[in-house]
Amino acid sequence: MQGVTLTQHIRQSQLTHPEARGELSSLLTQIGVAGKVISSKVNMAGLVKMLGSTGRVNVQGEVVQKLDEYAEETIQNIVGGSGQVCALLSEELKHVIEIPEDRAGGYIVAYDPLDGSSNIDANVSIGTIFSIFPKKSSGVEVTRRDTMRPGREQIAAGYILYGSSTVFVYTVGDGVHGFTLDPSVGEYVLSHEDIRLPSKCKTLSINQGNAPYWPRWVHDFVERMLARNDEDKRRVSGRHIGSLVADFHRNLLYGGIFLYPADQRAPRGKLRLLYEASPLAFIIENAGGAASDGHQRILDMEPTELHHRTGLLIGNEAEVQLAEQCVRDAEAAA
């Protein structure tokens, strides 16, 4: 095996990052370990009876898949047992998990254990998304001040994508780096150093099936994007997987905008601020892009509840601004 491993890279960024202490390096490494465990189960899912649903419905009202449950338990065991966290916030759980004092550390991790669950049984890419905050309140208790945090207070965020290969992407606020899991040795190796979002927005990612429920501005925005294509050249292409983490990763590498706006079916949006929008917004800003709910920067949004939902427009900054302009135009015309 050749190249820089994730562990080496994390240690290196710890040396240069002012807030990163050894504990953060250890926590990120443990998240990587949880990702390896989940990845191996995802790869074997069809063989080890891990496809299909558990028959349960989660706090979001969504059917829990067997792999959702496995990913949740794996993160609780490995990250919760790392000694570096005092609380875990999961998309799958109703309440915060507080880590007992004798095993608690100084960080809070919010996560979506397996994003894109509706795609699991079709072998389509899925992933784990995570967000890390330093504990804010003094004292051992975990308070609302520690958990209800705007994304700008994140110290690190990332995701593990279980796709054609398993990729770990993270930022501690000084660039975005991607690592590919070499399954023959069980190590993540640096494959995408200092990812910068390409300047051209080549991809438009949105679930067209929601068009009947979209507010006016979304139709305007989509029309304006598609008007960039003419007989001579297709400048914008539609790509939508239905796994946010996979749609995001492709757009991060190729340039693009992903939208899941609030609409008539989901008046507050479908995606969750703490587990999906905020971590990906932290990553996209660190790669030179932007993220908004249509009115404000995602990283400035204050969650009012654990499962706070939001509209999400994320990708190239110019196109996110264009979408915000469409929102303002529609509001002015109303």
Of the candidate spans 107-115, 132-140, 164-172, 207-215, the one that interacts with Mg ion by CB under 5 A turns out to be 107-115
Residue 247 touching Mg ion (CB under 5 A): no
Among 69, 112, 187, 324, interactor with Mg ion by CB under 5 A? 112
Q: Mask of contacts with ligand AHM, 248-267, x by CB under 6 A?
A: ------------x-------
Please identify the residue of the shown chain whose CB is closest to the bound ligand AHM.
244
Q: Which of 214, 239, 217, 235 is closest to 226 using CA atoms?
A: 235
163-175 in b/e burial notation, b at 16+ Cβ within 10 A?
A: beebbbbbbbbee
Compute the distance between CA of residue 271 and CA of residue 283 in angstroms, rounded to an integer. 16
Q: Mask of contacts with ligand AHM, 206-225, x by CB under 6 A?
A: -x------------------
Q: Mask of contacts with ligand AHM, 170-209, x by CB under 6 A?
A: -------------------------------------x--
Size of the site for ligand AHM (CB under 6 A): 13
Q: What is the DSSP string of 24-77?
A: HHHHHHHHHHHHHHHHHHHHHTTTTT--SEEEEE-TTS-EEEHHHHHHHHHHHH
Residue 65 touching ligand AHM (CB under 6 A): no
Q: Which is nearer to ligand AHM, 127 or 142 (CB)?
A: 127
Q: Dihedral of the CA atoms 89, 48, 52, 268 (nearest 10)?
A: 20
Of the candidate spans 115-123, 148-156, 160-168, 219-227, the one that interacts with ligand AHM by CB under 6 A turns out to be 115-123
Among 13, 74, 117, 316, interactor with ligand AHM by CB under 6 A? 117
How many helices (H) and strands (E) the chain has is answered by 8, 17
Residue 242 touching ligand AHM (CB under 6 A): yes
HEC readout, 234-252: CCCEECCCCCHHHHHHHHH
Residue 72 touching ligand AHM (CB under 6 A): no
22-44 in b/e burial notation, b at 16+ Cβ within 10 A?
A: ebbbbbbbbbbbbbbbbbebbee
Residues of this chain that interact with Mg ion (CB under 5 A) are 112, 115
Residues that bind ligand AHM (CB under 6 A): 62, 91, 112, 115-118, 207, 242-244, 260, 270
